[in-house]
């Protein structure tokens, strides 16, 4: 093989090697680009998926005493006469409640109340001991088939899934006064604040105005915050006209 042929072979090999290097560099560049795009999209996707949980999972809300007074259809003091399980749900009970004093609303005594959030042991104790109770109620939906059928009442929620059926002999720590962010702990406090709130609400409604629910941010280091805290932010449902700093949505 002469020198001229050898030089041609070497030149061809050099050209092939050059193009191979270019191809190799292109493959590496494409791989890096794809990797970056995938990683970037993965981060964006993870942020998209987990951001709602970070924003909303730590928020807790509760009903203030002021809002319970505004939203309840019936507020009454009395005691439980009897209770029984319903035919539909094994954890549901119908309570027969004898009223001693009506704070809001009109009704005939006794009142039928449907509940699924109060333990049977508590109902049994309340009934046997005729425990003095204060209850905040909302009327259930009326039957379309039988309009004459008596509509049962439902107990409102105070906070943290606890029913607003208050033991006046030893009040549960669940009623929050939004104006001071304190927990009402005595019978006298509860009844006095309930009357005061109802008086303010009646004075507002007599002007032909409607009370709407707003949300009030609960400050740190308050009794209300200690009761409601489950993460970063807590809110109380309140009557809009009583709290100018409240807002329509909690976030």
**Is 127 a member of any domain?**
yes
Residue 50: domain span:
3-57
- Does residue 184 carry a pLDDT above 60? yes
**The domain boundary residue, chosen from 20, 41, 57:** 57
101 lies in the same domain as 180: yes
Q: Tell me, yes or no, whether 18 and 89 share the same domain.
A: no
pLDDT above 90 coverage of the chain, percent: 61
CA 147 to centroid of chain Cα atoms: 32
**Does 250 map to a domain?**
no
- The answer to whether residue 145 is domain-embedded is yes
SS3 49: helix
pLDDT at 232: 76
* Neighbouring residues of 139: CB distance < 8 A, sequence distance ≥ 6: 73, 74, 151, 153, 154
Residue owning tokens 């730590």: 58
pLDDT per position as a tens digit, 42-55? 444 344 444 444 44
Residue 251 in any domain: the answer is no
Which pLDDT tens digit goes with each residue over 116-151?
889 999 999 999 999 999 999 999 765 555 555 667
The number of domains in the chain is 2
Rounded to whole angstroms, the Cα distance separating 145 from 82 reads 27
**DSSP-derived pairing of the beta strands 165-167 and 176-177:** unpaired
Do residue 42 and residue 115 come from a single domain? Answer: no
pLDDT digits (tens, 9 = 90+) for 16-33: 555 445 555 555 555 455
Three-state DSSP at 205 gives helix
d(CA 71, CA 215): 14
Does residue 35 fall inside a structural domain?
yes
Instruction: Return the DSSP state at 145.
Output: S
Q: Let me know whether 211 and 228 are in one domain.
A: yes
- CA–CA separation, 197 vs 14, rounded Å? 93
Question: Are residues 193 and 77 located together in one domain of the fold?
Answer: yes
Residue 249 within a domain: no
* Whether the predicted pLDDT of 247 surpasses 50: yes
pLDDT digits (tens, 9 = 90+) for 75-128: 999 999 999 988 665 678 999 999 999 999 988 899 999 998 899 999 999 999
- Distance CA(166)–CA(163), nearest Å, equals 8
Residue 136 lies in a domain: yes
* pLDDT value, residue 145: 59
Would you say 245 and 214 are in contact if contact means Cβ atoms under 8 Å apart? no
Residues 38 and 134 in one domain: no
168 pLDDT higher than 90: yes
Of the pLDDT bands very low, low, confident and very high (cuts 50, 70, 90), residue 180 is: very high
Q: Does 37 lie in the same domain as 153?
A: no
**Residues 89 and 208 both lie in one domain:** yes
* pLDDT at residue number 16: 53
Residues 193 and 75 in one domain: yes
Whether 53 and 92 map to the same domain: the answer is no
Q: Do residues 106 and 14 both lie within one domain?
A: no
* Pairing of β 233-239 and β 59-63: parallel
- Distance, CA of 32 to CA of 125 (rounded, Å): 71
Query: Is 200 within a domain?
Result: yes
Task: Verify that 32 and 124 share a domain, yes or no.
Answer: no
């Amino acid at each position: 093989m002469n020198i001229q042929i050898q030089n041609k072979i070497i030149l061809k090999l050099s050209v092939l090697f050059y193009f191979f290097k270019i191809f190799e560099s292109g493959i590496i560049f494409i791989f890096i680009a794809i990797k970056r795009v995938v990683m970037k999209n993965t981060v964006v996707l993870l942020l998209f998926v987990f951001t709602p949980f970070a924003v909303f999972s730590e928020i807790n809300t509760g009903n203030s005493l002021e809002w319970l007074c505004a939203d309840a259809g019936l507020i009454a003091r009395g005691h439980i006469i009897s209770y029984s399980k319903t035919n539909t749900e094994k954890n549901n009970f119908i309570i027969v409640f004898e009223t001693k004093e009506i704070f809001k609303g009109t009704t005939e005594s006794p009142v039928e109340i449907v509940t699924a959030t109060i333990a049977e042991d508590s109902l049994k104790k309340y009934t046997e001991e005729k425990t003095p109770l204060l209850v905040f109620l909302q009327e259930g939906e009326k039957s379309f088939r039988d309009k004459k059928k008596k509509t049962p009442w439902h107990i409102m929620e105070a906070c943290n899934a606890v029913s607003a059926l208050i033991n006046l002999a030893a009040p549960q720590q669940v009623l929050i006064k939004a104006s001071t962010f304190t927990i009402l702990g005595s019978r006298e406090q509860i009844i006095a604040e309930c009357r005061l709130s109802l008086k303010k609400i009646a004075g507002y409604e007599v002007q032909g105005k409607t009370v709407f629910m707003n949300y009030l941010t609960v400050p740190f280091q308050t009794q209300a915050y200690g009761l409601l805290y489950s993460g970063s932010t807590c809110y109380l449902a309140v009557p809009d006209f009583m709290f100018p700093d409240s807002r329509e949505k909690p976030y």
